[in-house]
Amino acid sequence: MKKFPDGFYWGAASASYQVEGGIENTDWAKAARDGRVPECGRACEHYTRYEADFDIAKSLGHNAHRFSVEWARIEPEAGQFDMAAIAHYRQVLEALHARGLTPFITLWHFTLPLWFSESGGFERKDAPEIFARYCAFVVKELGDLCGHFSTINEPSVYGSNGWLRGSWPPFKRFSLTDLVAITNSGRSYESRADKSASNLFLWWRVMKNLAKSHNAAYLAIKKVRPNADVNFVHHVIVFDANKNPFRKLAAYIANQSWTHLFMRRTAGHYDTIGLNYYFYTQFGDKRKWRKTDMDWNFAPEKIYDALMILKRYKRPIVICEAGVADADDSDRAEYIEKQVRATWQAIQDGVDVRGHIYWSLLDNYEWALGFEKRFGLVEINYETMERTIRPSAYVYKKICEQNGMLE
């Protein structure tokens, strides 16, 4: 039996904009109105159906749940906080506790309130203060019901899609090279991006500002709730190389700039580390990889390498997202089992992993790709909003309930 440590967190994740529905005052909603990304509309109507959805999570053996609160609902105008939105998220937290699900809150998962994005967003010099004010407010209001907070979801993805690739708001593209394409294979939504060489410098500034924003938020949160567990959630791509020394150097540089730079810029400002793992890529790879529905290499076992990449930071790690788009559910169970096995192996090899949170509980709005990709343990019929549990969800359930795997 491959047993996990006692108290290990098992569950699934979501993000507000992708599931709640009815959010119109964000940069993404505006981009949809402008025809640059697909409409999100009512999404999964999770905003009103969350209790039934948590019933499903509980029935599937989960003991934890990661979700995000929507900044644009909570602070719809600069400095003005909406207590009705807070009251809603308090009910969400109560509903999780009532079902024995430990909550993990993400404070910001990609979508920005319009007032902030239209005034420059994370290009603004004062973004760290603005972000820290918002984060501290939420943690002050919700921290009695939740002990785990992530400030930023996937800074490297946000920065590269927004300022290098130009596929996400604010659609700025660095046009001299398609170097970054490798990190984005599969997300090929055609957008009318603004192409300019200066976007490279802007990207660099935004990445620094995101690190400063996280650090400021960390300190502000610690002032109001010193005991809260605070991290950010890092998307780790495993860049590998064949034996060629130049390719090895390229992989080293890629890992440094994608993962380690942000870790260094935030040193001393996280209690744990959130890990999202989806990609393994090898420079000079001759293998023909089996692909997921996202056209990503089917490499669940390489989560081991992602965990090893983070081991040096000597903090407990929570896997906050790991999952596969698989519309017919033919590969998901295998994906989950291989990934859980590799996580177990990493624990044996000295990594302090505290939880495994699958992406995602429900099918949802997959950003610039709309609703076509299906990551859910639970299938959504977008016409009727009916929920159907997929067979693979029961394979995961067994793992959650046994706190491990038989072999």
**Nearest approach, Cβ of residue 321 and ligand FCB (Å):** 6
- Reference 320, options 32, 103, 13, 109; nearest CA is 13
- Reference 50, options 19, 77, 80, 82; nearest CA is 19
Kindly state whether residue 20 participates in binding ligand FCB, applying the rule CB under 6 A: no
Beta strands in 323-373 (DSSP E): 353-359
In whole angstroms, give the CA distance from residue 233 to residue 272: 9
**Nearest approach, Cβ of residue 255 and ligand FCB (Å):** 18
What x-and-dash track marks residues 206-245 binding ligand FCB by CB under 6 A? -----------------------------x----------
What x-and-dash track marks residues 277-296 binding ligand FCB by CB under 6 A? --------------------
- Reference 68, options 31, 10, 111, 36; nearest CA is 111
Q: Rank residues 193 and 233 by Cβ distance to ligand FCB and give the closer one.
A: 233
Q: Which stretch binds ligand FCB (CB under 6 A): 111-119, 153-161, 223-231, 257-265?
A: 153-161
Kindly state whether residue 15 participates in binding ligand FCB, applying the rule CB under 6 A: yes
Q: Rank residues 114 and 320 by Cβ distance to ligand FCB and give the closer one.
A: 320
Kindly state whether residue 104 participates in binding ligand FCB, applying the rule CB under 6 A: no
Kindly state whether residue 28 participates in binding ligand FCB, applying the rule CB under 6 A: no
Q: What would the two tokens of residue 290 be?
A: 């089996």
Kindly state whether residue 26 participates in binding ligand FCB, applying the rule CB under 6 A: no
Q: Rank residues 4 and 9 by Cβ distance to ligand FCB and give the closer one.
A: 9
What x-and-dash track marks residues 372-391 binding ligand FCB by CB under 6 A? ---x----------------
Instruction: Give me the sign of the Cα torsion angle 321, 326, 15, 235.
Output: positive
In whole angstroms, give the CA distance from residue 284 to residue 394: 38
| Cα radius of gyration (the chain) | 20
User: Which residue from 157, 238, 322, 361 is in contact with ligand FCB, where contact means CB under 6 A?
Assistant: 157
Distances (CA, A) of 77 to 33, 73, 113, 248: 20, 9, 8, 48
| Ramachandran area for residue 376 (φ above 0: left; ψ -120 to 50: alpha; else beta) | beta
Half-sphere exposure of 98 (CA within 13 A, CB side): 11
**Nearest approach, Cβ of residue 326 and ligand FCB (Å):** 12
Kindly identify the residues of this chain, within the stretch 294-353, that bind ligand FCB according to CB under 6 A. 321
In whole angstroms, give the CA distance from residue 341 to residue 304: 9
Q: Which stretch binds ligand FCB (CB under 6 A): 127-135, 149-157, 284-292, 330-338?
A: 149-157
**Is residue 343 within 8 Å of 353, Cβ to Cβ?**
yes
Q: Rank residues 331 and 366 by Cβ distance to ligand FCB and give the closer one.
A: 366
Kind of pairing, strands 172-173 and 194-195? parallel
User: Which residue from 367, 374, 377, 387 is in contact with ligand FCB, where contact means CB under 6 A?
Assistant: 367
Q: Rank residues 344 and 359 by Cβ distance to ligand FCB and give the closer one.
A: 359
Instruction: Give me the sign of the Cα torsion angle 312, 154, 165, 362.
Output: positive
Kindly state whether residue 66 participates in binding ligand FCB, applying the rule CB under 6 A: no
**Nearest approach, Cβ of residue 44 and ligand FCB (Å):** 13
Burial of 345 (C-beta count, 10 Å sphere; 0-12/13-18/19+): middle
Q: Rank residues 136 and 157 by Cβ distance to ligand FCB and give the closer one.
A: 157
Which residues of the chain form contacts with ligand FCB (CB under 6 A)? 15, 18, 153-154, 157, 235, 276, 321, 359, 366-367, 375
